[in-house]
A and B are shown apart, each in its own frame.
Chain A
Amino acid sequence: MNYALVIEDDEVTAQSITTELQAHGFDVQWASTGRDGLAKAILGGLDVITLDRMLPDFDGLTIVSTLRNLGIHTPVLMISALSDVDERVKGLRCGGDDYLTKPFSMVEMVARLEVLLRRPGSHSQVHQLSVGNLSIDLIENTLVRCGESIALLPTEFKLLTYLMRNAGQQVTRTMLFEEVWGYHFDPGTNIIDVHIGRLRKKIEGPGAPLIHTIRGSGYMLATQN
């Protein structure tokens, strides 16, 4: 069981976040003010926190930086009505782990939280990732399937790495775009699907597909559905 804290002053939004997280097996607490949220976060025992950027009493930035100063490193997903790139940078600089702009889709939020939960302490210690018969070497930048090496373009390699790191986990198109291309805007069309399609052709042999499309939300790399 994962424990989540939702710090959000809007009751309807908080409720739907809570419901959604509960449906994904989280144990959810809700705090409607910054003060209450900070108290609950300091108490500990949490796996992840969603934090509204603008609260009636505190700024979300103050809460996250207070937590970090206290040595509490629970992953924080900041949710904000401020979509400006500068605001995103500010949020992340204060110690937020990810940033989501209102209005957002529940699928996107859950996918991001799951990735935050799964994020190991440090990526760099992993040199090799394996899913099914696929295996990539992060130092040599090579991909091997059933002992046979497959050539990938740098972008495709990044894409596959991200999917393999989060194997069994749903990732959205926006997350892929942010992670692989490093830009924070909605590319709009089905361009990410085209890239995934190309990657699929290269890595999937006969048999069950590896990259699964999740309708309306994104993709998941998994050996079985």
Chain B
Amino acid sequence: MPLKTDRWRSSNSRLIGIYAIFFVVWGAVLTGVLYVEISGYLGTVAERTLMQRAHYYQKIDDAKLFDELQGSEVYSIAGIDAYGLFEANGQYVTGDLLKLRSNLPDDGRVHYLKHGLRMAGSQGETRSSHALLQHRSDGRILILARDGGSISAVGGIIGQALFWGLSLTLIPGLIGWQLLRRRPLQRVERLQRSTESIVSGNLRERLPLSPRRDELDMLAHAVNTMLEHIEQLMHEVKSVCDGIAHDLRTPLTRLRARLYQLQQLPMEEAHALSLSLAMEESEAIMLRFQGLLRISELEDSRRRLAFSPFQPAALLQQAHDFYEPMAQEKHQLLTLELEPDLPALQGDQALMFEALVNLLDNAIKFTPPGGHIRLCAKVAEGVHHIEVIDNGPGIPEAERESVLRRLYRGNATRQQPGHGLGLSLVAAIIRMHAFNLKVLTADSGGTHVTIKCSRV
């Protein structure tokens, strides 16, 4: 069966998938670094501004501090810069900051508070901010703060940029993938169909090429060149064989004619006997020769053009009726088992009959008297099966492959008449039909030959 790939498994999907993951990770890393750098920079700026203010207020006398702080409101940005002055016991004196925070370390340096300070006029919410605690010489505590909202805003902006960037890239990417994945897949399916046709014997077929000359075309071109070579080689082998066959036919005809002429002359009994043996030998040569020629003929794919639909039931019935008298003579039982309503098969009926005749002939030949030979046709798992099952001695496992080779004769069969071409002829016929031939062991220990035909 051809290997079918589902949409997720195509190499395109995989590449696009890997690329998408790479892109997302890279986008995240890039924005992450940006975020860290920018927020770090903004933090430093806030820190420096706070430090400047702290240094400035440090130098201001405690008595003037109050006025100075009030005055700073003129130039500092409301809601961004803030201060708070508290008594040493933490009691609020003045400023936007209403409450002294205990978690602000008392070390005169700028600290970043995630949940920052509550300001006057706000509805209880706290904001992240940079803050600094300064002890005045009169024991009061001054808190200076700068809103950290801009850092959070930077985070938000970068997050949004990441989101839009990814979605604007990934969504068209997915649509593009959906559109792109079809064409290569369709091409691969076309290639697959051509290959199947070639495998089933149509060596004239070539893989389709596109005008794009891409990597698939390079591969298809290489395969086509290879096919050209194979076809040429096979053609050469066939023409050599045909030549030999043709050159041998005439001398064989002559040999036979001469022996026959000789036989018509009066002669002694001993001579007549040798002559008749010579005639028999020449018969045997001819039979074998014709068998071999027939097999090479079958390997010629043109014959497939003559395929037409036929009813397997009628064919099996005919084969059964043809061999039933023979089985009866050998005191064997030849039964026909047909499933009702078998669908038609596509092929060469005459050749299929020849294949069945050979199988039945073997079965009858090798099954002892009293044996049972079954000729069956059924549909199993959607496939036509034609079977010849006997309860004879069977074929040893080691010989099962070789029985299909030309001129092979099993150890046990050398005494039987025949030219050893029957099963290879069957194999050639089955191969030509692109059917499947299997030699198995029957439950009874005999031979079980199965022909798996085309799908129903």
**What is the interface of chain A, defined by CB distance below 8 A to chain B?**
10, 12-13, 15-17, 19-20, 23, 81, 83-86, 101-107, 153, 155, 181, 183-189, 191, 194-195, 197-198
Contact = CB atoms under 8 A, between A and B. Distances in A.
Nearest to B285: A103
Contact of A191 (B297, B302, B322): B322
Instruction: Report, nearest first, the 9 A-B pairs whose CB atoms are least far apart.
Output: A16-B257, A103-B253, A103-B252, A102-B249, A81-B249, A12-B254, A194-B325, A194-B326, A102-B253
Interface string B254-291: 11111011001000000000000000000000110110
Contacts of B257: 12-13, 15-17, 20, 106
Given A103-B286, A105-B256, A195-B325, A13 B250 contact: yes
A81 B246 contact: yes
A86 B354 contact: no
Nearest to B418: A188
Nearest to A17: B257
A183 B250 contact: no
Contacts of B322: 155, 181, 191
A17 B361 CA distance: 34
Contacts of B303: 85-86
24 contacts: A10-B250, A13-B254, A16-B254, A16-B257, A16-B258, A16-B261, A83-B290, A84-B300, A85-B306, A85-B350, A86-B302, A102-B252, A103-B253, A103-B256, A104-B253, A106-B256, A107-B260, A153-B321, A187-B357, A189-B417, A191-B326, A194-B325, A194-B329, A197-B325
Contact of B323 (A10, A15, A191): A191
Contacts of A188: 287, 357-358, 361, 418, 422
Contacts of B255: 103
A15 B260 CA distance: 12
A48 B365 CA distance: 41
A219 B161 CA distance: 100
A20 B257 CA distance: 9
Given A83-B297, A189-B417, 5 more contacts: A83-B293, A86-B302, A185-B354, A191-B323, A197-B329
B284 to A, nearest CB: 12
Contacts of B361: 187-189, 191
Nearest to B264: A23
A83 B221 CA distance: 37
A48 B330 CA distance: 43
Nearest to B358: A188
A19 B254 CA distance: 13
A81 B246 CA distance: 6
B55 interface: no
A104 B249 CA distance: 9
B331 interface: no
Contacts of B256: 103-106
A199 to B, nearest CB: 10
Contacts of B323: 191
Nearest to B419: A188
Contacts of B408: none
B122 to A, nearest CB: 101
B348 to A, nearest CB: 8
Contacts of B287: 186, 188
